Structure 1
């Protein structure tokens, strides 16, 4: 029952915010949001009708997998003006659609018509779904009468629950750093992954699928492309989910760490084959950056210059400057005034007497265009020189690991001799790598080689490479404010039987993940020895995938860096750890965490 003050407040809101019916023209949506947020028409506008277009394209891409949720319950966190939410509602026709949106004044014009529609299934909860206390209160029998809290012994708790779907918008602008995390999205996604592993919050109804809109750069937390970007959070997501899909994004590589262009194109070519086999089509104009590259190269014998990104300054600016300079459009130097020339000439004559045989040159200053041209030439030559070194190292490593994989299961005297020769080649390769004089090139090389190593196993150790389709390209002007967003699709899986017995066992999982991600260039052997006395010897015997090169492992774990571990390796380590009769107690783990840096938030 509303109080008089609440009713008066609602009347005031109604007076200044007219209703915006579902499917209203984008201009009306824009005007309404501008009225509340005072957005500039150029800087933060919604854009054109393409805002609705991206929603339609996304739902069309997801439609085959979404239809299994038809008639489900939807928990919608931060729906905003509900443009995506209403379209999703129309597709799935849910029996109940809970909207958790605390911004009442801004979004009443959009949400109220949904509530007032005949036989409406919408319920507006005016609380923040990002506050876990509020979220826990909403997850009750009144809001979700068809959902049943499953006991830890119920086998259904480890099975996908198609009768429920969670949708959330955790893209904040500007980003809010919180508790050591770079953004609220990082914190919330980590909490949701912990909920999957421990079957808490809405995961207590079974394994519930999550569709999350995040800031474009936050997608690399869930789907890193480079081994150096794989932190504890991304590892936990890979372990907790059977599939993580990037449905839509800007498709632009990370501004922090991006993979070599050659690896990206190798990955996208495999995805093209999967899309052709599945009959998946990409709408015109929605092609990702690398799909656009690959479509022109698909089926051709293309040789990329590894390590040199196809950047605009080399592809456009440098050739343009070269052509203009060759055509005489700008000089190399400015002409020098006669008086200044004579003054310099007199000084040069004095210098000439001191430098026998030298011919003094009297020249004007370099033009800005030529300075830019010279700089780009230098950068190009540096990139090409580095690319040559990196490609040579990569080719040698691939050749060595191909032989290691081929000989791994071979036995006999002849096979043993071959293995010894390959081991000698590897030692020589490592020696050559460590002798690279340029420290920057060495750092680039180790990152490239580790990423290449993880990317080339089957299936790829980079989760993003396992995608069934390329993400759709979404543009900043299709969102309000004009910021690129990404849609991630999390499909959880059951992880550890031991967690059903005692959710506190998640502390073991967190402890192991923290160890293998705190120093990513440390060797696997060193970090497993640091886990606990005797852990390395036990795990080496109980986790055969660690020493299996065909599964991304290594016969010598001292030469394998922890960032080369796949999430399957980590899951195997955790399972073996839970079987270890001499593992430390939870109290001992807590004590060690309190006296170390392992409990510090480790997030990229």
Structure 2
């Protein structure tokens, strides 16, 4: 089928065809640039900027735009905010050829051929004295944003926008940008600078998980320093290994408000007891009918009474035979040991057996110890219970499901809730359709990072001390979240030999040690890190072993380092 002539097309069709032709041209020149996921729907960009509500506070700001791609989202930001300076950081020559023509109608927009993944790019951009290199266009005006103290709120004089879909390890770069909120480097040297990041859904779910089972180190660090909002996304929830879904209904905040429907029990004792209760309930219903005074009910009950009695006895005998471990049981034959026992006596034995079956393992253990003449201290009992939870029960499927349900219920009762994804502002992100809004057709999301005041422990005048405290915090969180479904005390044992003893220096350390790692709030994590840093047996060298030093290859073939 022939392609329609451009002059005969509607404006929207013309725009889409022009976008498609531009993409084909770019990717034919530089295949590596094709890994970037580009926005191709201008109307979607309008919805996203409306949702961000930037116009009130960010009009006339400075925009640093990393990997703008085709520039469709950049154009919307420029037209809405009318920035005093809009800098496009694009290292790939294939995109640069397109962007040089793209920026001509926008006098405050500049193209800079620096790589946003390089730390040196920002040093050149903000501290350079001369801008005569080939990366800078003619007449380039360097950004000079004002500095706003953190206590005065967000610095609205500068805004960072980045598309991280080109890099497979976007989580690494995101983690590094979060670390700058602690040590006040990168753009955070100017105050609390807001940054918007496009990323793949896979990376998004690690930063802002939807369920407590998915809470990992990156999300815990993000919760500490930024208010996180999913502005736009595909609206899908990924399932399978590594992607956890909520164990609760989306509308269920507390278990008490929407109790789960009672299901038949699964164990043999409970199943047989359930059958007995059903027969007893039928018997009570017939007795109620007999006593209701309705015509004929007394006579009908008199006829049915033997059958009802027989059904109750059969259920009781089957239950007691299982409890007494009788393999073969005949209801009325000579091998039935319950044949001459009254129904009331059978019912009494059944009640006693059910009470015994409902005893907790601790009660059974205490009874066995008492019968054997053994006595244990409370500390010894707690030690054994801890061992049992950590090594015997924690890996069983039933216990894992029960722990997940309990943890999520607890996390939702906190104020604010433990996960930022549960905040009201994250309920309805703008939907990005992978099939029509982006190319290549991959699900992506836009996250809005608004730095908060960092916890007081990190507010030290010495940058060296701040770096040491963050290194200790990062080391702790990295280690314990590797075992996020375990208790804090069990996870601390992997940090260093005897590291669980740091809990002894905390007033509530004993209770915190029993809590699973994924249920710890950021305030509790900071207090634990503070106790860890003051632990006399800690090695500072271990703290500084965490970090990133990943080599990649730039457009000119030279190796470079990611942002550190």
TM range (shorter): 0.5 to 0.7
Query: For 1:250-399, what aligned pairs fall within 5 Å after superposition?
Result: 250-255=234-239, 256-260=242-246, 262-266=248-252
Q: 1:29 aligns with which of 15, 19, 33?
A: 19
CA deviation string 1:9-52 (max 9, x = no partner):
xxxxxxxxxxxx9997122111221233269xxxx9x99x9822
User: Is the aligned partner of 1:481 residue 2:444?
Assistant: no
Aligned pairs, number: 392
User: Is the aligned partner of 1:71 residue 2:43?
Assistant: no
Taking the aligned partners of 1:100 and 1:600, their CA distance within structure 2 comes to 22
Quick check: 1:262–1:306 contact (8 Å CA) kept in 2? no
Quick check: 2:197–2:447 contact (8 Å CA) kept in 1? yes
Segments of 5+ residues of structure 2 without an aligned counterpart are 1-10, 130-140, 264-377, 550-564
Range with bigger deviation, 70-79 or 451-460: 451-460
2:181 match? 196
Quick check: 1:261–1:306 contact (8 Å CA) kept in 2? no
**Change in 2 beyond 3 A, CA 1:591/1:83:** closer
**Change in 2 beyond 3 A, CA 1:531/1:35:** closer
User: Is the aligned partner of 1:249 residue 2:233?
Assistant: yes
Taking the aligned partners of 2:544 and 2:90, their CA distance within structure 1 comes to 37
User: Is the aligned partner of 1:515 residue 2:468?
Assistant: no
1:115 match? 103
Taking the aligned partners of 1:305 and 1:57, their CA distance within structure 2 comes to 41
Taking the aligned partners of 2:13 and 2:75, their CA distance within structure 1 comes to 9
**Change in 2 beyond 3 A, CA 1:220/1:592:** closer
Taking the aligned partners of 1:217 and 1:303, their CA distance within structure 2 comes to 33
CA deviation string 1:290-329 (max 9, x = no partner):
xxxxxxxxxxx9887799xxxxxxxxxxxxxxxxxxxxxx
1:7 match? none
Q: 2:85 aligns with which of 96, 115, 118?
A: 96
Query: For 1:543-582, what aligned pairs fall within 5 Å after superposition?
Result: 556-575=511-530, 580=534
Taking the aligned partners of 1:441 and 1:240, their CA distance within structure 2 comes to 35
1:134 match? 121
Query: For 1:482-497, what aligned pairs fall within 5 Å after superposition?
Result: 482-495=441-454, 496-497=458-459
- Normalised by the length of structure 1, the TM-score is 0.56
Taking the aligned partners of 1:185 and 1:599, their CA distance within structure 2 comes to 15
CA deviation string 1:234-293 (max 9, x = no partner):
21111121x1001111121133323236343336x9xxxxxxxxxxxxxxxxxxxxxxxx
User: Is the aligned partner of 1:224 residue 2:181?
Assistant: no
- Normalised by the length of structure 2, the TM-score is 0.60
Quick check: 2:503–2:513 contact (8 Å CA) kept in 1? no
**Change in 2 beyond 3 A, CA 1:68/1:576:** farther
2:164 match? 170
**Change in 2 beyond 3 A, CA 1:469/1:443:** closer
- Could you say what secondary structure the match of 1:498 adopts? coil
1:331 match? none
Taking the aligned partners of 1:304 and 1:67, their CA distance within structure 2 comes to 46
Displacement of 1:137: 1.8
1:453 match? 410
**Change in 2 beyond 3 A, CA 1:487/1:23:** farther
Over aligned residue pairs, what C-alpha RMSD do you find? 4.2
CA deviation string 1:171-214 (max 9, x = no partner):
13xxx5xxxxxx32111101101111111111111111010110
1:504 match? 467
Taking the aligned partners of 1:584 and 1:158, their CA distance within structure 2 comes to 39
Q: By percentage of residues, which structure has more helix? A: 1
CA deviation string 1:65-100 (max 9, x = no partner):
552111111100000011011101111111001100
Quick check: 1:543–1:573 contact (8 Å CA) kept in 2? no
Displacement of 1:220: 0.9
Taking the aligned partners of 1:491 and 1:306, their CA distance within structure 2 comes to 44
**Change in 2 beyond 3 A, CA 1:131/1:227:** same
Displacement of 1:556: 3.3
Segments of 5+ residues of structure 1 without an aligned counterpart are 1-20, 177-182, 270-300, 308-419, 547-554
- Could you say what secondary structure the match of 2:399 adopts? helix
Quick check: 1:214–1:485 contact (8 Å CA) kept in 2? yes
Q: 1:125 aligns with which of 112, 135, 157?
A: 112
1:82 match? 71
1:55 match? 45
Displacement of 1:125: 0.5
Displacement of 1:435: 7.3
- Could you say what secondary structure the match of 1:165 adopts? strand
2:198 match? 213
